[in-house]
Amino acid sequence: MNSNEIQHFSTDDINEIVFTHIFTMFSNLQYLNFRSSSICHEKLSIPTSL
């Protein structure tokens, strides 16, 4: 793929990439609990480059 091409990812692809990155970075992570009913919205910050 050259640098002028645009990559298109589905939501499922993006979710897989994000969660793979999270579980790789935090190897001792047992579980994540994303509650849609929580009053305050928490944000995960993932660096774009390592």
Residue 1 lies in a domain: no
Residue 17 lies in a domain: yes
Phi, psi for 15 (deg, rounded to 5): -60, -45
Residue 3 lies in a domain: no
Confidence label for 42 from pLDDT (cuts 50, 70 and 90): low
Residue 2 lies in a domain: no
Domain hosting residue 19, numbered range? 9-50
pTM above 0.95, yes or no: no
Residue 46 lies in a domain: yes
Residue 27 lies in a domain: yes
Count the domains in the chain.
Answer: 1
Q: Give Rg (Cα) of the chain.
A: 14
Percent over 90 (pLDDT), the chain: 0
What's the rounded Cα separation, in Å, for the pair 49 and 39?
31
Residue 33 lies in a domain: yes
What's the rounded Cα separation, in Å, for the pair 14 and 12?
5
Q: Which two tokens stand for residue 25?
A: 């970075």
Residue 39 lies in a domain: yes
The predicted-structure confidence for 12-28, as pLDDT tens digits, reads as follows 888 888 888 887 887 76
